[in-house]
Amino acid sequence: MSIYKSLKEEAYEANMELPELGLVLFTFGNASAVDRDKGVFAIKPSGVPYVDLKPEDMVICDFDAKIVEGTMRPSSDTKTHAVLYKEWSDIGGVVHTHSTYGTAWAQAIKDVPIFGTTHADHLISDIPCAPPMKDEYIAGDYEHMTGYQIIDCLKERGLDYNEIGMILVGNHAPFTWGATAAKAVYNSAVCEEVSKMAYLTLQINPNAVILKDALKKKHYDRKHGTDAYYGQGC
């Protein structure tokens, strides 16, 4: 029995949630889960339909995206996941999808504006959209540099990856992360739903204004602040 059995199961469960939540079509996405103690992560194999996927199919890679265990080629986005795990020590899972509304905003190269309290319940800023990748990065180690495209965008904007949990990559699509693979999936679903809400808001009122600061702070803090009172964990 593989010493990575539980890690593979965690990654498998995260991946299987993506089509159930309507976040992927065919094989347009991937999820991974990390084991910090072993210095590896489990990720979906490339191009395998979700209906055919099994826990044992998950590929184990190290933080340099080298295969440690597995018989199939890992996701083409493996190097991006590896960079994020290597650079961000607090994350436990990463998800990449081409969900419709999140991808539409990414293709438009636009941040998703924070129009309402649903958005503020999860992050207090717009969902950032990183700029399209430079030609030399595209021609080089593309997936590896996608990871740094994400990291650099947050650094340049003074955003904390522990507080954001999601980003759009310009001309590409959303990436999300979280303390666990399940949380990364949750953030992916939130990113898509909030992106949809923002799009519809602008259809109804092209001059809609962003949420005022008092409401941003109230809704974020009641869920994530030091005196949070949302849910049963207070």
| Residues designated catalytic | 121, 230
Q: Among 69, 65, 66, 61, which residue's Cα sits nearest to residue 80?
A: 65
Q: Among 63, 53, 65, 73, which residue's Cα sits nearest to residue 8?
A: 53
DSSP characters over 72-121: SPBPTTHHHHHHHHHH-TT--EEEEE--HHHHHHHHTT--B---SHHHHT
140: enclosing H helix or E strand = none
CB 16, CB 50: distance < 8 Å: yes
Q: Output the six-digit token pair for 50.
A: 């979700």
> What does residue 65 show for φ and ψ, rounded to 5 degrees?
65, 20
